[in-house]
Amino acid sequence: KEQFSGARNDGVATLTSDQHQISIQGSQAIVRNPAGATVGRLSKIHRVSPTLGLPAPAGATVLFANGHASELEGATVSPEGLLQVGATTKMPVEDFRLHVEFKTPYQPDQRGQGRGNSGVYIQRRYEVQILDSFGLDGVFNECGALYRQTPPDVNMALPPLTWQTYDIWFTAARFNEAGEKTSNARITVWHNGVPVHNNREIP
């Protein structure tokens, strides 16, 4: 990794480190060495999750689509037809597969947990974190993490204002007739089409 400091002037962002200077204008970046010679050019890449827009399989319960949230309690829908944070499923859940599409806001004046921050809460016990974590380390409280327990295997967060996906397979903990836990819950999470937790046990 290489750390840069930067400034923007007349529509051009200039980032400078001890080894390179990068000038960004529009969708192009020019990389120069300390002598000012061009060593490379970078073009902006628009990444799209391969599971974005995934159709619901036959027999699925659709929690939210096209502005309708009849399966959710406490649902607030924006004037643009988007589901806001704070909704809960009406039905209790045990084992399931869930497809979620989300995007985080652009808040460059904030840091860490102060940026677009939410989560997918499962059984009010476990959380798959949603956070603007683009370009960060992918630690235990960033996007894709089992919040404050396990970091994602890889940080797959896309930039803010970009639609992203979670595909979650969850197996609930098991209990015997005495109410004693006999096995922990397990979870698999694909973030933007890449597995970041694979059949992971949740204590």
Residue 147 near residue 134, CB atoms below 8 Å? no
Give 112's DSSP letter: G
113 in helix, strand or coil? helix
What pLDDT does 69 receive? 93
One-letter amino acid for residue 97 of the chain: R
Per-residue pLDDT for the chain (203 aa), expressed as one digit of tens each? 899 999 999 999 999 999 999 999 999 999 999 999 999 999 999 999 999 999 999 999 999 998 899 999 999 999 999 999 999 999 999 999 999 999 999 998 998 898 989 999 999 999 999 999 998 899 999 999 999 999 999 999 999 999 999 999 999 999 999 999 999 999 999 999 999 999 999 98
What pLDDT does 116 receive? 86
Q: What is the pTM of this model?
A: 0.85
Give 173's DSSP letter: -
What pLDDT does 133 receive? 95
Residue 20 near residue 3, CB atoms below 8 Å? no
What pLDDT does 29 receive? 97
What is the enclosing helix (H) or strand (E) of 15?
Answer: strand 12-16
What pLDDT does 1 receive? 80
What pLDDT does 203 receive? 87
Return the residue matching tokens 């990389």.
31
**Residue 122 burial (CB count, 10 A):** 20
- Distance between CA atoms of 143 and 134, rounded to whole angstroms? 8
- Cα Rg for the chain, rounded, in angstroms? 21
